[in-house]
Amino acid sequence: MPLTADQDAEIAELRSNPQPTLRAVSPGMEARLYTAHPVLDHGFVRVVDYMGDDAAICQAARVSYGRGTKAVSNDEGLIRYLMRHWHSTPFEMCEVKLHVKLPVFVARQWIRHRTANVNEYSARYSILDREFYIPRAQDLAAQSTVNNQGRGEALTGEEAQRVLEYLKGDAARAYDHYEEMIGQEGQQGLARELARMNLPANIYTQWYWKVDLHNLFHFLRLRADAHAQYEIRVYADLICEMVKDWVPFAYKAFEDYRLGGATLSAGALDCIRRMVNGEEVTQETSGMSKGEWREFEGVLKA
């Protein structure tokens, strides 16, 4: 199950005792505070705390305006200007702390985003739960033939069933041996810091992850992308919904200029200008490699 009974009780207590505050609050984020939103088969994301809102971004941007400088009176317009021109520091004024439960192999991808503060569940101190990520049958796929880090065609029938049985059986056996090695309560078994090395990468871990909005947007731009691995993308998609409730103006600008936008090279821009002028441009006449041209076509056809 995603949450233990103790965690459920703690969340219910926190939500039942709201406190008055003088700081700025986001109604959308207040509604999400503490609630665990399920992801995958045993995972979740919940907001533990946050700081700032759309107004905080504008406040930070305007503090640098000197006397006589033309101010932008519309908050949404200012936020879109900041996003459009890659101004980052005003977005750093907002922060969020998330409690995330996720498979270890997803955590190892996630931790590559080094611009956050992280505190992870310690398997040296505590015993990990018998919870493993087992993909749905429709999420099993063969290795892509064009992308060395991606998926290709879905596995079906007996092949998919065989893979699922391997995943379930191997995970169960590894955890049985883990329990045997650490021993029963009162016994002196193998140290937990050693016993954990036998556990598979699909076992679940948990952490608190605190990040500012600028770096969160960078994470989401990469991990909410259609090319990201499914298992981390579903977490990013959920966090996108949370951010939309938290800072709606900033998220809309992010959606328009980052998620829905594209960065083009000088060569790609030149090709577009030639196309607009009526020239037929091919990969051979574009000056791009086959890989670049394929990505360029993907942007134009999206």
Please give the chain's pLDDT, 302 residues, in tens: 567 788 888 888 888 888 888 888 999 999 999 999 999 999 999 999 999 999 999 999 988 655 544 554 589 999 999 999 999 999 999 999 999 999 999 999 999 999 999 999 999 889 999 999 999 988 888 776 666 666 667 788 888 899 999 999 999 999 999 999 998 776 778 999 999 999 999 999 999 999 999 999 999 999 999 889 999 999 999 999 999 999 999 999 999 999 998 889 999 999 999 999 999 999 999 999 999 999 999 898 86
Which CATH number among 3.40.50.300, 3.30.1360.170, 3.30.2130.10, 3.30.310.50 corresponds to the domain 5-133+202-259?
3.30.1360.170
* Residue 86 Cα distances to 24, 83, 120, 124, angstroms: 25, 5, 32, 42
Residue spans per domain, the chain: 5-133+202-259, 137-199, 266-301
Residues 260, 85: Cα–Cα separation, whole Å? 16
Count of CA atoms in the C-beta half-sphere (13 A) of 54: 23
Q: What SS3 state is found at 113? A: coil
Query: CB within 8 A of 43, min separation 6: which ones?
Result: 2, 100, 101, 102, 103, 133, 204, 235
Residues 116, 2: Cα–Cα separation, whole Å? 24
Q: Residue holding tokens 């990505």?
A: 295
Query: What is the model's pLDDT at position 16?
Result: 85
Count of CA atoms in the C-beta half-sphere (13 A) of 118: 17
- Which residues have a catalytic role annotated? 223
CA angle 285-286-291, nearest 5°?
120
Residues 268, 27: Cα–Cα separation, whole Å? 42
Candidates 103, 99, 101, 49; CA nearest to 209 is: 99
